[in-house]
Chains A and B, each alone.
Chain A
Amino acid sequence: MAKVKRFMQGNEACAEGALYAGCNFFAGYPITPSTEIAEILGYQLPKIGGKWIQMEDEIASIAATIGGSLGGCKALTATSGPGLSLKQEGLGYAAMAEIPCVIINVMRGGPSTGYPTGPSQSDMMTAKWGTHGDHPVIALTPSTVPEILTETVRAFNLAEKYRMPVFVFYDEIVGHMREPVEIPEPGDLEIVDRAKPTCKPEDYKPYDSNFEIAPLAAYGKDGYRFHVTGLNHGDDGFPTNDSKRIDQGCRSIMAKIENNLDDILKNETVDMDDAEIVLFAYGSTARSASFAQRKAREKGIKAGLFRPLTMWPFPEKAIREAAKKAKVFIVPEMNLGQMSLEVERCAPGIEVKGINRVDGEPINPAQILECIEKYK
């Protein structure tokens, strides 16, 4: 049977993906260009008995999202640059207290209020370094409307599995673009739910270090009572001053990522086997890059495309590998050079050429092709 196809906007696909993943809690605050997600879920969630609330700001939104998650829901919030800045302290809390939640950030021009209706990709480092302290980060970067749906589902799965906040970052162009999307049937995509404790209530430890990722009970639903804090804590969730346990806690939240890179990383590569000119591109920019790469090959230029769908953790190994053959990496991005710095870090001695645009206009294929041709 042919799958149902619907013509939809990126933000609509995001809401669709969230619902498919089992999202039943949303807290947010309106901000262009993400608002449609809140609007659609405000209409859809009550229909399935889900909870939806418009909070008084983004600080409250991330807080309520984390609260909803601890209440046993699959929780989502959506925002854009200025809101992402406000959410930072709460994001650190979710990372520290290991509370699953998904944060959509639809990127507009910045800094500050910037260019609300214009696209950008300038929040990539905010995802990684926004909140203080060492913390784990997973950020997914879809390029197409169908991909926004599937990557939103994957974001929920990763959040629930690894007990942490997971970002989906895409630019305003994909967020507002319309494309046909195949709507997955139940069972088509994998859905992961968080592990629940099975021990006796008196034995429950929400940060039990015998587990890589300890099961998480819900407040008032599973018969377990426990304490959660943003302070450094022991296995039982209570604050600790034990330097050994503090060290262990700080490392273990990072180890969840480091030990599971194969599960978390996801890239698309095109013609990378013999690529001398590697395009590293994500979001809508990857669409232009893909076009330019095809044109370059038609002209006999050994160009390849590396497109990360998981941007954080950074695909370090794959870039190091590509660097063995590449003579140049071209990194087009709608910012003044963010991910190009990471590519440089992983490809020492190899030229990394940024194509940067911050005028609110997309980076077009011709621009990229022109750059490729300089290196042929």
Chain B
Amino acid sequence: MADAAKKLPRIEINEKFCKGCSICVDFCPTDVLEMKGPVVVVKDLDACTRCQLCDLRCPDFAIQVFD
């Protein structure tokens, strides 16, 4: 499904919960995220493979990937 492949995921970041530990940034296999001051932001959504590793390793319930 070519269409679906193009559809971008949504990465939700809860800034109130994010403590800026950068675990999600450091372990993202495709370098989607980056730290901006005290919290994480999305740098390159195109690169996201929807692996969910950022969600799984975030200690703070602060990031989730909606496919």
Q: Do chains A and B touch in the complex (CB under 8 A)?
A: no
Chain B positions near chain A (C-beta within 8 angstroms): none
Q: Which residues of A contact B (CB under 8 A)?
A: none
